[in-house]
Amino acid sequence: MQAVTDIAEEILQLKKRRRAILLAHHYQESEIQELADAIGDSLELARRARDFDGDVIAFCGVWFMAETAKVLNPRKIVVVPDRAAGCSLVDACDVEQVRAFKRLYPDHAIVSYINTSVEVKAESDILCTSRNAVQVVNSIPAEQPILFLPDVNLGNYVKKQSGRENMKIWQGACVVHSTWSAKRLTAAKEQHPDAVIVAHPECPPEVVRMADFVGSTTAIIQWCVSADAREFIVMTESGVTHSLHKLAPEKRFYFVPNENCNCSECPYMKLNTLEKLHACLKNLEPRVDVASDIIERARLPLERMLAVK
């Protein structure tokens, strides 16, 4: 087996040779984040993909994020270390069900979370991420009925924040965030009474209600770094510790293990490894391919989202 430093060195050389950019989501292993040209939440990574000017995007995240990069930059080669890096929210929202809904309720605007397949994006009017979901919904005229999909917890959070009544919500959930319970959070708070609570909006409403701050992964990191507090209970995937420890080494961060795996990790994100990243840059596989008509149709809702301030 090759030493990590050797593989890392070879990845950097391959990256140069391929004229590649390495984009990493906050939930990736530290050793991958360490090599990345950009680390970010799904919104930031989409923007970086849009603005990239080389030949290859090595997307260290999950498949739907890489598809988004492909839609924004169709002439580039987009690779992901592991093809099986999916997402339970994507699985919860089949495109045929979305088409059936549109036939039944043609007057509804479809607002899709970026955690959807590219085919579902192509059926949507506008997309959103956890960072801009409230602004996206607020950008739609008040009288326009909405279907928000697929995350039920994010949907409920947005509905509450926007005060929007005419909004139907799909019933998908994240296998990681949705399994955190108020009971375990309360126990963590008893153990760390001085800690403030930060949560991703994919968490259940009872967890979100207990939080001092709710936001996307990058928003959580920025808030923790600038807050006066010294201790934090962090209700999102534990990959964010990479940036938290770098940006605020003097602060303490606690994670609450979820009921299923007793950990705080996304099983899909963690499929990507340094070895697989090396192989994918070498072989330019697994490669994201999206039909050109789907790219055309998915680009419009994506660009509408990127235009929302």
Measure the CA–CA gap between 216 and 302, rounded to whole angstroms. Answer: 18
In the complex, least distance from residue 186 CB atom to ligand SF4, rounded to whole angstroms: 22
| Beta strands 56-60 and 20-25, pairing class | parallel
**CB-wise, 14 or 90, nearer to ligand SF4?**
90
What DSSP letter does each residue of 169-185 carry, written as one string? E--B--TTGGG--HHHH
Scanning residues 96 to 115, which ones bind ligand 13P (CB under 6 A)? Answer: 115
Residue from 116, 216, 264, 272 touching ligand 13P (CB under 6 A): that is 216
Give, as one character, the DSSP assignment of residue 240.
Answer: G
Measure the CA–CA gap between 60 and 272, rounded to whole angstroms. Answer: 7
Residue linked to tokens 């930031």: 44
Measure the CA–CA gap between 25 and 268, rounded to whole angstroms. Answer: 12
Q: Interior CA angle at 264 toward 150 and 269, to 5°?
A: 60
Question: Is-contact 217 193, C-beta < 8 A?
Answer: no
Choose one: 87-95, 136-144, 183-191, 218-226; the region binding ligand SF4 (CB under 6 A). 87-95
Based on the shown chain and the rule CB under 6 A, indicate whether residue 306 belongs to the binding site for ligand SF4. no
Measure the CA–CA gap between 65 and 121, rounded to whole angstroms. Answer: 12
Residue 217 binds which entry of ligand 13P, ligand SF4, none, CB below 5-8 Å type-dependent: ligand 13P
Neighbouring residues of 283: CB distance < 8 A, sequence distance ≥ 6? none
**CB-wise, 114 or 147, nearer to ligand SF4?**
114
In the complex, least distance from residue 65 CB atom to ligand SF4, rounded to whole angstroms: 8
**What's at 144, amino acid-wise?**
Q
Single out the residue of 113, 109, 132, 105 nearest to residue 218, CA to CA.
Answer: 132
Based on the shown chain and the rule CB under 6 A, indicate whether residue 202 belongs to the binding site for ligand 13P. yes
Site string for ligand 13P, 140-179 (x = CB under 6 A): ----------------------------------x-----
Choose one: 138-146, 154-162, 224-232, 263-271; the region binding ligand SF4 (CB under 6 A). 263-271
Scanning residues 146 to 165, which ones bind ligand SF4 (CB under 6 A)? Answer: none
Site string for ligand 13P, 60-99 (x = CB under 6 A): ----------------------------------------
Residue from 28, 42, 88, 238 touching ligand 13P (CB under 6 A): that is 42
Could you tell me how many residues of this chain bind ligand 13P (CB under 6 A)?
A: 11
Measure the CA–CA gap between 139 and 300, rounded to whole angstroms. Answer: 16
Residue 175 binds which entry of ligand 13P, ligand SF4, none, CB below 5-8 Å type-dependent: ligand SF4
Choose one: 7-15, 46-54, 175-183, 244-252; the region binding ligand SF4 (CB under 6 A). 175-183
Measure the CA–CA gap between 197 and 260, rounded to whole angstroms. Answer: 21
Distances (CA, A) of 243 to 117, 222, 240: 28, 10, 6
Residue 216 binds which entry of ligand 13P, ligand SF4, none, CB below 5-8 Å type-dependent: ligand 13P
User: Residue 286, preceding bond cis, omega within 30 degrees?
Assistant: yes
**CB-wise, 39 or 140, nearer to ligand SF4?**
39
For binding to ligand 13P (CB under 6 A), which residues are involved?
Answer: 41-42, 115, 129-131, 174, 200, 202, 216-217
